[in-house]
A and B are shown apart, each in its own frame.
Chain A
């Protein structure tokens, strides 16, 4: 069964704590993305990666970090520097990034809440 998995479904963060959200894909896609979704705000790009060991900042990268050590995996760490982390986090992947047929497919999301 091909797809994108995200875990956990819900995550609680204490003040000053770093937390890591998992994203795995078995679609053999080169590119992976992290978005944040807030009510009434739409999706905003945090980080993206086109190939292993390379990634670029999106529009709202401050307070977040990523790694891309394997093609299948693109974990996102929400650091203590992110002062308003409560949101729905979505991971996506795509084939042929920037190409004519490129489309992004999304995982089920992780809801992060601050205690």
Chain B
């Protein structure tokens, strides 16, 4: 079993839809959880950063972490064509600088 599992998709939704992206993990020592957005042929950019369990909201984006289920989610409300990108989850143990990434989910939002 891989440390981090992420459905690679692709996922296609109409503009305005609510999008849910998810990752599961097996390492209970992970404490810090991130979502990166990567446009085609570009470097990833940090979208959300959360510590331990709970929710974090930033505009149309909400990140959720459920450590008991080893499950993290990213919700995008009122999705826009500009949200079309690959979304990567990443996580690390406390005190470690090494990130472990999911494979990335390609999202297309159709106008």
Contacts and interface: CB of A to CB of B under 8 A. Distances in A.
The interface centre, meaning the residue of B44, B49, B96, B104 with most chain A CB atoms within 10 A of its CB, is B44
Nearest to B49: A103
Contacts of A54: none
Interface in A73-115: 88, 90, 94, 97-98, 100, 102-109, 111
B25 interface: no
Interface residues of A, number: 27
A6 B41 CA distance: 13
26 contacts: A4-B43, A6-B43, A31-B97, A40-B8, A42-B6, A42-B88, A42-B102, A42-B103, A43-B44, A43-B88, A43-B101, A44-B101, A48-B97, A50-B97, A88-B41, A90-B43, A98-B95, A100-B51, A103-B34, A104-B99, A106-B36, A106-B44, A108-B43, A109-B41, A109-B43, A111-B41
